[in-house]
């Protein structure tokens, strides 16, 4: 019987690449969230808060949110997904401990 020898891929290299990709995706997700918040603040005329966010995070310098997305759309899509999956609306807010008394 003929033996076939396949080259073994360096699994540590693959794991490192996977970790690096996950890290980049997390950074991109955080950047996208900041941009969505920045656009929401500007759209709702909260300019001083938007300016502080921009100064603190360098948001809005090299990128801007596309026309077909905003924070409200993201929330609506999440609520729709959650309702479809669990047949109830998601809880987005809850009372703080000091208000529960």
Q: Determine the pLDDT at residue 83.
A: 98
User: From the CB of residue 100, how many other CB atoms can be counted at a distance below 10 Å?
Assistant: 7
Using DSSP, how many helices (H) and how many strands (E) does the chain show? 3, 0
With CA atoms as reference, report the closest residue to 17 among 29, 7, 25, 6.
Answer: 25
Q: Per residue of the chain (101 residues), give pLDDT as tens.
A: 566 665 656 678 888 899 999 999 999 999 999 999 999 999 999 999 999 999 999 876 788 899 999 999 999 999 999 999 999 999 999 999 887 66
Q: Determine the pLDDT at residue 80.
A: 98
**Structure pTM?**
0.76
């Amino acid at each position: 019987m003929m033996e076939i020898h396949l080259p073994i891929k360096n699994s540590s290299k693959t794991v490192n690449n996977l970790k690096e990709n996950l890290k980049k995706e997390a950074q991109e997700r955080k950047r996208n969230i900041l941009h969505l918040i920045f656009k929401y603040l500007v759209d709702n005329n909260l300019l001083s808060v938007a300016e502080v966010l921009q100064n603190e995070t360098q948001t809005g310098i090299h990128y801007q949110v596309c026309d077909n997305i905003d924070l409200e759309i993201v929330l609506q899509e999440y609520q729709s997904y959650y309702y479809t999956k669990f047949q109830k609306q998601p809880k987005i807010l809850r009372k703080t401990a000091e208000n529960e008394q």
